[in-house]
Each structure stands twice: as structure tokens, then as C-alpha cells.
Amino acid sequence: MFPAVLGEPFANKHTKLQMEGKVVKRLVAEGREALPNEYTALLAGWGSRITRHHPASPAGGDRHSFRWSGPELIEALACIGQEGHCWLGVLHTHPSTAAIPSSVDAANWHYPQLSYWILSFSGQTPVLRAYQWVDGSFFLRPYEILPG
């Protein structure tokens, strides 16, 4: 669909998925601000390293499920391309449930080569988990938070 910007963060088995600390901080802050609604962002960068996020507009209507409108997705991907980045993943929040993909999440995920992130606010502190879609199921993947 968007071959020019579509990255492959799991292409190299020996490279752990990475996210810059400043991106994690922004995702937690913006996800918390959106509560009690869900929040979602595209994640971009190079190789296996996420260096930038592109949030969906909060005016997008119903945020009880994580959803991108076609035009909004195309706009965010165009921005990723203009910045010379690749699209590496998608994050959404679970305001009141654990950081485990729901059956709806699984049914709506169409980019198995990308990373799938869930940020949960159900506990005392936010929990961020990364998954990879392999053969019809989500698998938990380790990741590293880079300083800065």
C-alpha cells in the first residue's frame, strides 16, 4: 500500500527494537492527556529504531476503539516520507485494561511487518509493551529505551 515508507523493524533478528526515551515520554504524556479515551500514534524512524511519533488528531471522533481515518493515515505517512523516515509501528493506549491486544486489535491489524505497541494506564504506572504479528497471533517482543 505504501511501499516507500513501510519499514521492517523486525527484519534483522539480532537487532532489538528500540525507542528513543523522548518519544516514550511524549507518548505517555499525550496518552495520559487523552484519558479516558484511547490515544493512537504512528511510530517512525530507521531500521529498528523509533525516533518520532505522529499522533492521530483527537478530533477524530470515537476513540473507544483505536482507528485511523484513511485521509489522516495518508497524511501522517506522507509526513513520515517527507522527513525521510520509515513507518515502523503503531501505538495505541488501553485506558483501563492491561497492555494485551484485544480480539478487535487482532482483527484490525493489517501490517504484520510493523511493530504493534500498547500503552496501558490500568495500573499505578503506565506499562508499554511491543508485539509482533506472526502467523495469526501477537507475540511479545523485547525492546530497549534509548537515552535522550
Q: Which residues contact 105 (CB under 8 A, 6 or more apart)?
A: 66, 92, 116, 118, 138
Interacting positions 48-107 with Zn ion (CB under 5 A): 102, 105
Q: How far is the CB of 97 from Zn ion (least distance, A)?
A: 8
Q: Which is nearer to Zn ion, 72 or 105 (CB)?
A: 105
Interaction mask 105-124, Zn ion, x per CB under 5 A = x-------------------
User: Binding-site residue total for Zn ion (CB under 5 A)?
Assistant: 2
Q: Which amino acid, one-letter code, is at 108? A: N
Q: How far is the CB of 99 from Zn ion (least distance, A)?
A: 9
Q: Give rounded-to-5 percent helix, strand, coil for the chain.
A: 20, 35, 45
Nearest by Cα to 23 from 77, 124, 91, 73: 91
Q: Which is nearer to Zn ion, 30 or 83 (CB)?
A: 30
Number of Cβ within a 10 Å radius of residue 104: 11
Q: How far is the CB of 100 from Zn ion (least distance, A)?
A: 8
**Positions that interact with Zn ion (CB under 5 A):** 102, 105
